[in-house]
Amino acid sequence: MEVRQVDNPDVQRQKVEDIISAYRDKPGALIPVLHEIQNALGYLPRWVQYRVSNIMNIPVSEVNSIISFYALFSEKPKGEYAIGVCKGTACYVRGADKIIEKLEEELGIEAGDTTPDGKFSIEVMRCLGACGLGPVMVINDDIYTRIKPDKVKDIINAIRQKDGSETT
């Protein structure tokens, strides 16, 4: 899989400036700008939100509310293996909470966080459109359906094995 290289802060800043400049005079450009920056950096930290706000003349509260609303945006860096668990109604009823609990237990982090080694992150997502197959979990581009809590450890261990990290 593709591993994101982390740029140094100056390179990150320049990328952000270039993206915002390309859109600054275009109306309705906030979402495309955030999308491109998220792709470039992997997340949308506070300093980016202030920069977007200043240059595009949009209140930072509006920038932040767009980021909070759309599940594809994140204020924290995601793990190399970005895990998302749907907590839409159908998945919730089918036990999404138990899947999240197992992931938290297995990875030693809470939903919304990334492991200290940057390998895994857990994110709670809204409906992914596969309600009949819940609970649904995604790990990068792979979709797991009808997950049972006792399968979570196996899935994580399979990734660790493939990745060459330790299994538990």
Measure Cα distances from 152 to 63, 64, 73, 85 in Å: 35, 32, 25, 12
Query: At its nearest, how many Å lie between ligand FES and the CB of residue 104?
Result: 19
For 103, the token pair is 């992931």
Q: Could you give the string, one character per residue 107-136, with x where binding to ligand FES holds by CB under 6 A and - elsewhere?
A: --------------------xxxxx--x-x
For 113, the token pair is 């966080």
Query: At its nearest, how many Å lie between ligand FES and the CB of residue 100?
Result: 13
Query: At its nearest, how many Å lie between ligand FES and the CB of residue 147?
Result: 11
Phi and psi (nearest 5°) for 156? Answer: -65, -45
- CB closest to ligand FES, residue no: 88
Contact present, 123 and 96 (Cβ < 8 Å): no
Query: Which residue, 58 or 139, has its beta carbon nearer to ligand FES?
Result: 139
Contact present, 88 and 78 (Cβ < 8 Å): no
- CB within 8 A of 28, min separation 6: which ones? none
Query: Which residue, 31 or 93, has its beta carbon nearer to ligand FES?
Result: 93
Distance from C-alpha of 83 to C-alpha of 85, rounded to nearest angstrom: 7
**Segment 41 to 100, residues that bind ligand FES, using CB under 6 A:** 86, 88-91
Query: Which residue, 63 or 96, has its beta carbon nearer to ligand FES?
Result: 96
- Would you tell me which residues interact with ligand FES (CB under 6 A)? 86, 88-91, 127-131, 134, 136
